[in-house]
Structures are given as structure tokens and as C-alpha cells.
């Protein structure tokens, strides 16, 4: 099957893990992302540890963000991310449940896309400090095409909305 290509775009990916060797899972996922066809790594954030969102009784997450330049289409990139998750032992169970690895396509250039199984920008990223913090570290000036605000501005907005409390 030929790969779907576009002009090179900057894509931002959130990485998270709360099962097994969390650091290794994120490092392995990052390494696999770097080898995708038509893809060049740009930056990888530091790892942060965060409380889980979702059902109780889960371990804390390690979270990070990565930015890449890619000629893959958004759908081809998402499909590749899902294959990477599966190769690293991800088993899809209950929503927001524990996982060995979670890879979310957050931004894809200035694209706004809403189709079955793929929404870009990610519909929840503006509400998640565990995505915005790492993303602001590596791509602070990248703009959310829906709001027109930079990642750094969105992070500041979210911190104010949370009363300065990291969540």
C-alpha cells in the first residue's frame, strides 16, 4: 500500500505510559517514531510524572511530547502511531485506563480536521496540563489553529483556569 504523503509539516505527539517500564516505553516509542518514513525528529521534551486521569487505582503516568517534521498524511501518521502502540504491548481496554504506551497526535501544522477516528487538533489537549507543559517546552510558539493561541499561551490560560494548581 503506498504511503499517503503531504508537504512537510510539523506534527506534535503526546506520549504517556503508566504500566511497566514507563521510561523505556516512551523512549522506545520515540525511537520508533523517528524511523517512520518521511519523518525527521525535531524535539523531545523532558519526562514529567503526573497523576492519572480516569478510573481510580492506576499508577502515575510519565508524560512527554515530541515534535517531528513529516511528509506522512495525518491519517498515515495516526495509523503508524497506533501500530507503534500495538508493537509496544498496548491493549485497548476501558477508556482512560492504564496503558503501556499512549501516543496522541496533538497538532499537525495548521490543519483542522474532523473525520471518523481522527480529530486534529486533538480535542482535549487545551485542557491537559500534562500535554501542554511538555509541548510548551519544545514548541512554545506553535499555534493552535482553532483558537489562534500559541501553545505557551494555552499553557498559561490553563494554569490560570486551574488556579495555579498543576493537574
Active-site residues, by number, are: 90, 99, 102, 104
DSSP 55: S
Whole-angstrom Cα distance, residue 55 to residue 51? 11
Question: Cα dist. 98→21, 22, 52 in Å?
Answer: 13, 11, 8
Question: Cα dist. 71→9, 76, 82, 91 in Å?
Answer: 6, 10, 18, 28
H helices, E strands: number in the chain: 4, 7
Amino acid at each position: 500500500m503506498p504511503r499517503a504523503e503531504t508537504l512537510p509539516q510539523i506534527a506534535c505527539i503526546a506520549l504517556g505510559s503508566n504500566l511497566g517500564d514507563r521510561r523505556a516505553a516512551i523512549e522506545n516509542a520515540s525511537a520508533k517514531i523517528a524511523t517512520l518514513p518521511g519523518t525527521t525528529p525535531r524535539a523531545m521534551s523532558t519526562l514529567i510524572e503526573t497523576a492519572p486521569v480516569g478510573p481510580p487505582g492506576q499508577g502515575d503516568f510519565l508524560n512527554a511530547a515530541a515534535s517531528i517534521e513529516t511528509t506522512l498524511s495525518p491519517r498515515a501518521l495516526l495509523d503508524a502511531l497506533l501500530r507503534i502502540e500495538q508493537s509496544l504491548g498496548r491493549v485497548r481496554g476501558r477508556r482512560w485506563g492504564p496503558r503501556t504506551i499512549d501516543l496522541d497526535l496533538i497538532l499537525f501544522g495548521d490543519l483542522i480536521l474532523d473525520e471518523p477516528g481522527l480529530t486534529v487538533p486533538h480535542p482535549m489537549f487545551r485542557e491537559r496540563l500534562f500535554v501542554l507543559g511538555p509541548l510548551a517546552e519544545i514548541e512554545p510558539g506553535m499555534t493552535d489553529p482553532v483558537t489562534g493561541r500559541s501553545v505557551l499561551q494555552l499553557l498559561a490560560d490553563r494554569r490560570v483556569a486551574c488556579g495555579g494548581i498543576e493537574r
